[in-house]
Amino acid sequence: MMTPDLSTAIKTTLTLFRDKSIQTRRETWQGMKVWDKPEMVTHELTGHTVVADMRGHTHLTYFQDEIKPDLPWADNHFDERVSGFPLNPPPSEKSWPYSEGVNDKFKDERGIFSHTYPERFWPKYAADASAPRHGIRYPYGDYADFIALLGREPYTRQAFFPIFFPEDTGNVSRVRTPCTLGYHILLTGDKVDLTYYIRSCDLLRHFRNDIYFAVRFLLETLKRLSGTSDMWHGVSPRTFRMHIASLHCFRNDFYTLFGGKS
């Protein structure tokens, strides 16, 4: 159901989660086995979609007030995503508000994460590749190529930017994989819609930040497109959609968010 703005969409989601989420167990969390850990039981809402009117706003401060992400960390991290460099680890990992000193557990012996979002934005030379990567037949694309596509074909339906890669399929290496699947941008007339697909989202730690990153993805894309084609002049954001396969929080986090015992 369309909500009039993102702040209303967030409040609606919180109420629905409080009233309709169910307790469940999952085998792993962030690549670690948690099935036998009572404290890792989660409250979960599946197949949830957030739909909100962005009302033509393009000013970042408006969305900061609406979404209330973890600032300044969220801005610092987003800047890393679009920096042009496949950073791993990204410097912002040291200031993530919920790191609780556990980030190093997710790194290998070299101090490298299994993936980072800057790597997925700029995969051609990630992991010190000496030549651009190729897929089955064609070269990898990156965020710059995504911008180039929209610049030459503003009304394309092909503008999907993936974060979940084939190397994540089946998790053959049994490591952490991205929660975000990808972003789709669609221009109709002078209005642009953003659809954000995510497989797994932590309600306490990531929900607001993930919404903010998606909005910033759209605003950054519009900024970069503003000089590429007359068709992008005067374009404004219309509809925000976020499809979440699993929206969840841990048992103790449910208490933090809503009070009372879970």
174 φ/ψ angles, rounded to the nearest 5 degrees: 55, 55
Identify whether the C-beta of residue 116 lies closer than 8 Å to the C-beta of residue 87: yes
The HSE-up count of residue 52 (CA atoms within 13 Å, CB side) is 23
For the chain, give the percent of residues with pLDDT over 90. Answer: 76
Q: Which fold has domain 6-258?
A: Thymidylate Synthase; Chain A (3.30.572)
- Domain residue ranges of the chain, discontinuous segments joined by +: 6-258
144: pLDDT strictly greater than 90: yes
Give rounded-to-5 percent helix, strand, coil for the chain: 35, 25, 40
pLDDT of residue 140: 97
Average pLDDT in the chain: 91
198/210 Cα distance (integer angstroms): 9
36: pLDDT strictly greater than 90: no
Give 125-139 pLDDT, tens digit per residue: 999 889 999 999 999
Give 219-228 pLDDT, tens digit per residue: 999 999 998 8
Give 167-224 pLDDT, tens digit per residue: 999 999 988 899 999 999 999 999 999 999 999 999 999 999 999 999 999 999 999 9
Give the three-state DSSP class for 114. coil
**Amino acid code (one letter) for 68:** K
Q: What's the whole-model pTM score? A: 0.93
For the chain, give the percent of residues with pLDDT over 70. Answer: 90
Give the distance from CA 7 to its chain's centroid: 18
CA distances (Å), origin 15, targets 52, 53, 154, 196:
16, 19, 38, 21
98: pLDDT strictly greater than 50: yes
Helix (H) or strand (E) holding 49: strand 42-53
Mean pLDDT across 61-67:
98
262: pLDDT strictly greater than 50: no
Mean pLDDT across 53-68:
97
Mean pLDDT across 3-11:
97
37: pLDDT strictly greater than 70: no
pLDDT of residue 229: 83
Q: Is 122 exposed, middle or buried (0-12, 13-18, 19+ CB in 10 A)?
A: buried
Identify whether the C-beta of residue 6 lies closer than 8 Å to the C-beta of residue 211: yes
Give the three-state DSSP class for 50. strand
The HSE-up count of residue 180 (CA atoms within 13 Å, CB side) is 25
pLDDT-derived band at 103 (thresholds 50, 70, 90) equals low
pLDDT of residue 121: 98
